[in-house]
């Protein structure tokens, strides 16, 4: 029977805690109008990047402009009145009460001018932080009031994912530790790190919230579904075999060792960590058997073998034999 063999290797192997999560933006806000008016111009669209304080939309502002100019005129007039009253007051020609009345009217006018300027500034809608326009709610010509939604803005750099990890696994985790995220929609592995670990355990689930941050520009969007693999423990000197070398029989696991006379010996083994297509062998169940790095084990054709069967080891199994678990050719 033609088979393919591979050596047992000694290499690092990790235990992974696997779960899933949905990506989210760190900051996301619905940008609303802060005054009434009609939208005169939209300066950004969905998908556009903006910086902090960038102009996003402009409202018609003639009414606010007139109110601001009127308030400025009144304030400027009262500034001159205050200066003249102060000069006369210093010479004793104006009473304290009259001077205080002029000063009070000036302060009221100054506040009114500041308020008019604020109302005018609110006719220009600006970005409160840098990010990407996620959604636009209104069109040019729409009437808005204080609180009307105009845009959704999100800071997409970095994106975050929140996962709930059992308390027993959190002990070995540290901020800055690298984590593997896989975006199924793009079939892409995303580089990520542990950003922070919650200080408390959720008593209802026995888990701890762990926040992951995606590094770099990955072109994924908030709301995307990802699979998460977190290393919770690593054996640096593990005996590792390919998963294809293992044959299950009930709850027991076996592999076939290649002997010098080109026969195979079936050994029951205990498994340790699993990572991808690699599995750790803790030991052979039989006390008389030992496994060591370099020992050849069958990785193609193992399910069809029996203890002591003669084999023919080929350099490389064909695609067809791999597809049917190494059936005889």
Residue 245 belongs to domain with CATH number: 2.40.420.20
Tokens read off for 119: 């109302």
Strand 9-22 versus strand 49-50 pairing type: unpaired
CATH of the domain at 82: 1.10.287
Residue 207 resides in a domain? yes
For the chain, what is the domain count?
3
Q: Does one domain contain both 256 and 314?
A: yes
Residue 185 resides in a domain? yes
Q: Does one domain contain both 220 and 254?
A: no
Residue 47 resides in a domain? no
Residue 139 resides in a domain? no
CB count within 10 Å of CB 67 equals: 18
Q: Does one domain contain both 175 and 112?
A: no
Q: Does one domain contain both 198 and 243?
A: no
Residue 135 resides in a domain? no
Q: Where are the beta strands (DSSP E) in the chain?
A: 2-7, 9-22, 24-32, 37-42, 49-50, 55-59, 124-126, 131-136, 143-144, 149-166, 178-183, 188-197, 207-214, 225-242, 247-249, 252-258, 264-275, 278-284, 296-300, 312-313
Q: Does one domain contain both 224 and 246?
A: no
CB count within 10 Å of CB 112 equals: 17
Residue 56 resides in a domain? no
Q: What are the residues facing 37 on neighbouring strands?
A: 144
Residue 40 resides in a domain? no
Residue 48 resides in a domain? no
Structural domain ending residue among the three candidates 73, 106, 122: 122
Q: Does one domain contain both 168 and 244?
A: no
Q: Does one domain contain both 304 and 246?
A: yes
Q: Does one domain contain both 255 and 224?
A: no
The pLDDT profile of the chain, 329 residues, written as one tens digit per residue, is 888 999 999 999 888 888 999 999 888 999 999 999 999 999 999 989 999 999 999 999 999 999 999 999 999 999 999 999 999 988 888 888 998 999 999 999 999 999 999 999 999 999 999 999 999 999 999 999 999 999 999 988 888 999 999 998 898 899 999 898 988 777 788 889 999 999 999 999 999 999 999 877 677 888 889 999 898 888 888 999 999 999 998 889 999 999 989 999 999 999 988 888 899 998 777 767 778 899 899 998 888 889 899 998 885 443 444 444 443 33
pLDDT score of 315: 59
Residue 36: HSE in the Cβ half-sphere, 13 Å Cα cutoff? 2
Q: Which residue, among 116, 128, 124, 130, has the nearest Cα to 33 in the 3D structure? A: 124
pLDDT score of 183: 87
Cα gap 195→217, rounded to integer Å: 17
Structural domain ending residue among the three candidates 206, 235, 264: 235
Cα dist. 328→3, 112, 141, 262, 325 in Å?
A: 8, 93, 76, 16, 9
CATH of the domain at 230: 2.40.30.170
Structural domain ending residue among the three candidates 217, 235, 253: 235
Cα dist. 311→261, 264, 267 in Å?
A: 9, 7, 16
Q: How many residues are there in the chain?
A: 329
User: Would you call 65 helix, strand, or coil by DSSP?
Assistant: helix
User: Would you call 72 helix, strand, or coil by DSSP?
Assistant: helix
Q: Does one domain contain both 226 and 258?
A: no
Query: pTM value?
Result: 0.60
Q: Does one domain contain both 255 and 298?
A: yes
| DSSP states of 150-188 | EEEEEEEEEEEEEEEEEHHHHTT--TT-EEEEEETTTTE
Cα gap 96→299, rounded to integer Å: 103
Q: Does one domain contain both 241 and 319?
A: yes
Q: What are the residues facing 2 on neighbouring strands?
A: 312
Domain containing 21 equals 15-27+157-235
Phi, psi of 43 (to 5 degrees): -95, -15
């Amino acid at each position: 029977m033609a088979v393919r063999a591979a050596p047992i290797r000694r290499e690092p192997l990790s235990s992974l805690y696997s779960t899933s999560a949905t990506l989210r933006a760190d900051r996301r806000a619905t940008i609303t109008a802060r005054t009434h008016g009609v939208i005169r111009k939209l300066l950004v669209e969905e998908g556009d990047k903006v910086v902090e304080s960038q102009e996003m939309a402009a409202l018609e502002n003639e009414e606010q402009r007139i109110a601001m100019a009127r308030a400025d005129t009144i304030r400027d007039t009262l500034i001159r009145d205050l200066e003249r009253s102060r000069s006369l007051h210093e010479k004793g020609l104006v009473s304290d009460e009259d001077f205080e009345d002029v000063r009070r009217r000036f302060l009221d006018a100054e506040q009114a001018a500041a308020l008019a300027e604020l109302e005018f500034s609110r006719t220009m809608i600006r970005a409160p932080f840098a990010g990407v326009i996620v959604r636009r709610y209104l069109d040019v010509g729409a009437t808005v009031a204080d609180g009307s939604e105009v845009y959704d803005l999100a800071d997409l750099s970095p994106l975050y994912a929140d996962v709930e990890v059992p308390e027993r696994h959190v002990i070995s985790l540290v901020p800055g530790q690298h984590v593997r995220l896989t975006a199924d929609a793009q079939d892409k592995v995303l580089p990520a790190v542990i950003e922070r670990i919650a200080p408390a355990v959720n008593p209802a689930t026995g888990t701890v919230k762990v926040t992951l941050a995606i590094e770099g520009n990955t072109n994924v969007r908030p709301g995307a579904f990802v699979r998460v693999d977190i290393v919770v423990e690593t054996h640096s000197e593990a005996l590792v075999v390919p998963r294809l070398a293992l044959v299950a029989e009930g709850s027991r696991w076996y592999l076939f060792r290649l002997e010098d006379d080109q026969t195979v010996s079936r050994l029951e083994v205990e498994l340790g960590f699993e990572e991808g297509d690699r599995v750790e062998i803790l030991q052979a169940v039989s006390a008389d058997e030992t496994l060591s790095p370099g020992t050849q084990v069958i990785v193609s054709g193992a399910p069809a073998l029996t203890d002591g069967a003669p084999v023919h080891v080929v350099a490389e199994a064909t695609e067809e034999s791999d597809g049917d678990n190494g059936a005889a050719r």
